[in-house]
């Protein structure tokens, strides 16, 4: 049974290190006093935006908002103008919290700003807010339209971290190393709030590099969290450099998530280091729901059994529950339990599409073995792309490209990529001759959306394959090569 407080270390802080970014760090005691001081300065607000750069101040801002019982909206500082405008208009934050001296873009100029300083006055932690109250609103893509704000209650964060701690024997002696962005669940909830709830420490690398990971693991780390792209790069580095292999070898746990880890990368890391990376599975809306347990078999092809407290079932295309457990019958994963979100902000329609009778339709397709372990097979919607662990909606990129005068028609797909898992590919019917330069189109997308949504490849076609209703047959596109880069 976990603590009723989301971050119990705030009320009973110790003098041990809590958070480290490069050379700068805070102990639990310093973090608690500073967060309490900032929480005391926050005006009564429903939501605050946090300019989520990979810096110590971002952690402090989120912890202060949580201490005050105000929902934090972590904002990717690299968002393009259109996406940022959407997030601000949708979430309507009353304040934006940012590190001192950070220049904020025009879209945020109308939102009052509070600088989060490590020299802030200290204070006392306010009483614990209602566990059902929103803690975070995390924006994530759907197949069409702009990203939706996933409203996560305090109860879900606490339940998920506790279940992961049980699965991985995660304790206050662990030092978690990672380089994940702080505006998604993986980096923020697991990567920062996890160590703070459990009572250990997080060492954040600010940006990912294999050398940086190895240096931190060798210095202090016991666990590493990363996306498969990071493990793909670590596999190559460990094969080349014995010191990187040695650093990975001595970690207690290497955990991969957010997308499928290629079995070949699992094997390469195992061969170079003797360590078997374990996988866990989840989504923003449900948090993490399955994980290979640290004392279970560390196989490459499974995301493990459901976490304690998570109800999980597979359903067929008619919504009938599959109870085969034969490792062969595939079905869509549905999950229920305390880790679920409250709904999409301002989108009861979209919430109703995925939530029914307390169950979340994940859109992920899997089999389940007799041992209860899940094996992911794919996604129902091909219009959701996972690239570098980022969830990207094809529709959003298509809308952005259609706004370019040189584009008459477009379809966006995800193609297999050994490094990124999937690569964003745009199939374009040009409106002009010659067609716009590929760099021009990628730049255009990056001014409107986040940089990872830029197409990596653009292929020009005279026409898109369509069915009799005019819908693009995306499955046929894979067979074309098109012109372009
Ligand atoms: C990228 N670049 C481009 C293009 N795309 N340049 C031109 N045209 C393009 N189309 C540039 C980049 O800006 C970068 O430039 C350089 O190319 C290399 O980019 P990339 O290959 O993407 O590598 P990277 O920048 O090193 O990033 C890889 C990464 C990153 C570190 C693995 O993708 C990442 O942090 N992923 C984590 C995603 C994540 O946390 N997802 C969690 C959500 P330059 O070097 O100049 O910048 S999922 C979740 O939360 C759930 C609950 C779950 O299950 O976990
Ligand atoms: P997001 O909402 O960005 O958190 O993305 C959630 C999606 O990431 C899930 O619906 C899955 O498709 C995918 N995902 C997360 N973890 C894994 C994993 N271990 N293996 C395969 N796919 C994963």
Residue 485 has pLDDT above 50, yes or no: no
Q: Which of 440, 442, 434, 423 is nearest to 460 (CA)?
A: 434
* Ligand 1, atom nearest to 280 Cα: 54
Write down the pLDDT at residue 1: 57
Confidence label for 106 from pLDDT (cuts 50, 70 and 90): very high
How far apart are the C-alpha atoms of 182 and 15, rounded to whole Å? 24
Q: How many Å apart are CA 242 and CA 16, to the nearest integer?
A: 31
CB 351 near ligand 2, within 6 Å: no
Query: What is the pLDDT of the chain when averaged over all its residues?
Result: 95
The whole-number average pLDDT for the span 422-449 is 95
Structure-token match 């190393």, residue found: 177
Given the structure tokens 């209650």, which residue do they identify?
153
Ligand 2 centre to CA of 437 (Å) is: 33
Nearest CA to ligand 1 atom 27: 388
Query: Is the bond into 434 cis (omega within 30 degrees of 0)?
Result: yes
**pLDDT, tens digit (0-9, with 9 covering 90-100), for 217-233:** 999 999 999 999 999 99
DSSP string, 332-390: EEEEESTT---EETT-HHHHHHHEETTEEEEEEEEEE-TTS-EEEEEES-TTEEEETTE
Q: Is 176 close to ligand 2, i.e. is its CB under 6 Å away?
A: no
Q: How far apart are CA 437 and CA 3, in angstroms?
A: 56
Of 183, 161, 181, 160, nearest to 170 (Cα)? 161
Dihedral of the alpha carbons of 108, 112, 116, 120, in degrees to the nearest 10: 170
Ligand 2 pocket member 379 (CB < 6 A): yes
State the chain's maximal CA–CA distance in angstroms: 68
119, exposed or middle or buried, with CB in 10 Å at 0-12, 13-18, 19+? exposed
- What is the pLDDT averaged over residues 155-162? 98
pLDDT the model gives residue 481: 62
pLDDT in tens, 38-76: 999 898 889 999 999 999 999 999 999 999 999 999 999
Residue 285 CA: nearest ligand 2 atom is: 2
* Burial per residue of 192-218, b for 16 or more beta-carbon CB atoms within 10 angstroms, e otherwise: bbbbbbbbbbbbbbeebebebbbbbbb
Element (H, E) at 407: strand 407-417
Whole-structure pTM value:
0.96
Contact 339, 294 (CB under 8 A): no
CA of 413 to the centre of ligand 1 (A): 17
Best CA proximity match to 288, nearest among 318, 264, 312:
312
Question: Which residues touch 476 (CB under 8 Å, ≥6 apart)?
Answer: 465
| Closest ligand 1 atom, residue 419 Cα | 21
The mean per-residue pLDDT over the stretch 275-299 comes to 97
Q: What is the C-alpha separation between 368 and 370, in angstroms, rounded?
A: 7
- Please tell me the residue having the least CA distance from ligand 2 atom 8: 258
Q: Considering every ligand atom, which ligand is closest to the CA of 179? A: 1
Cα gap 144→68, rounded to integer Å:
35
CA–CA gap between residue 460 and residue 439 (Å, rounded): 14
Section 189-212 average pLDDT: 98
- Span 108-152, pLDDT tens digits: 999 999 999 998 888 889 999 999 999 999 999 988 889 999 999
What domains are there in the chain, each with its CATH number? 8-191 (3.40.50.12780), 384-484 (3.30.300.30)
Indicate if ligand 1 lies below 6 Å from the C-beta of 229: yes
Pocket of ligand 2 contains residue 289 by CB under 6 Å: no
484 pLDDT above the threshold of 70: no
Structure tokens, 363: 């859109």
């Amino acid at each position: 049974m976990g603590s009723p407080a989301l971050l119990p270390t705030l009320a009973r802080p110790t003098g041990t290190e809590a958070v480290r970014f490069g050379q700068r760090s805070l102990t639990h005691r310093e973090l608690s006093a500073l967060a309490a001081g900032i929480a005391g300065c926050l005006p009564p607000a429903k939501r605050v935006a946090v300019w989520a750069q990979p810096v110590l101040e971002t952690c402090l801002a989120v912890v202060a908002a949580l201490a005050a019982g105000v929902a934090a909206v972590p904002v990717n500082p690299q968002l393009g103008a259109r996406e940022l405008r959407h997030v601000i208009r949708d979430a309507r934050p009353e304040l934006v919290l940012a590190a001192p001296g950070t220049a904020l873009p025009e879209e945020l100029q109308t939102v009052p700003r509070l600088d989060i300083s490590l020299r802030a006055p200290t204070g006392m932690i306010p009483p614990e807010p209602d566990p059902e109250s929103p803690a975070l609103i995390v924006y994530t893509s759907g197949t069409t339209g702009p990203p939706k704000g996933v409203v996560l209650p305090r109860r879900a964060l606490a339940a998920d971290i506790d279940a992961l701690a049980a699965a991985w024997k995660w304790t206050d002696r662990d030092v978690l190393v990672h380089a994940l962005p702080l505006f998604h669940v993986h980096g923020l909830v697991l990567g920062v709030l996890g160590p703070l709830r459990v009572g250990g420490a997080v060492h954040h690398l600010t940006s990912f590099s294999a050398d940086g990971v190895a240096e931190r693991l060798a210095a202090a780390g016991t666990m590493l969290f990363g996306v498969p792209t990071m493990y793909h790069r670590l596999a190559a580095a460990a094969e080349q450099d014995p010191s990187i292999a040695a650093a990975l070898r001595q970690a207690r746990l290497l955990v991969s998530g957010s997308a499928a880890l290629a079995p070949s990368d699992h094997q390469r890391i195992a061969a170079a280091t003797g360590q078997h990376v374990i996988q866990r599975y989840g989504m923003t809306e449900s948090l993490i729901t399955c994980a290979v347990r640290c004392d279970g078999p560390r196989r490459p092809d499974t995301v493990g059994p459901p976490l304690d407290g998570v109800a999980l079932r597979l359903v067929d295309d008619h919504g009938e529950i599959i109870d085969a457990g034969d490792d062969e019958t595939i079905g869509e994963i549905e999950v229920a339990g305390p880790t679920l979100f409250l709904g999409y902000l301002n989108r009861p329609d979209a919430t109703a599409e995925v939530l029914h009778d307390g169950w979340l339709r994940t859109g992920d397709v899997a089999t389940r073995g007799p041992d209860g372990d899940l094996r992911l097979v794919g996604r129902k919607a091909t219009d959701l792309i996972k690239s570098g662990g980022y969830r990207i909606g094809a529709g959003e990129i298509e809308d952005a490209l259609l706004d370019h005068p040189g584009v008459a028609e477009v379809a966006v797909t995800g193609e297999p990529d050994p490094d990124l898992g999937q690569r964003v590919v745009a199939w374009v019917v040009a409106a002009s001759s010659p067609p716009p330069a590929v760099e021009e189109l990628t730049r255009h997308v990056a001014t409107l959306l986040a940089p990872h949504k830029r197409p990596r490849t653009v292929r020009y076609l005279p026409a898109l394959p369509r069915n009799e209703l005019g819908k693009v047959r995306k499955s046929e596109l894979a067979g074309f090569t098109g012109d372009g880069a």
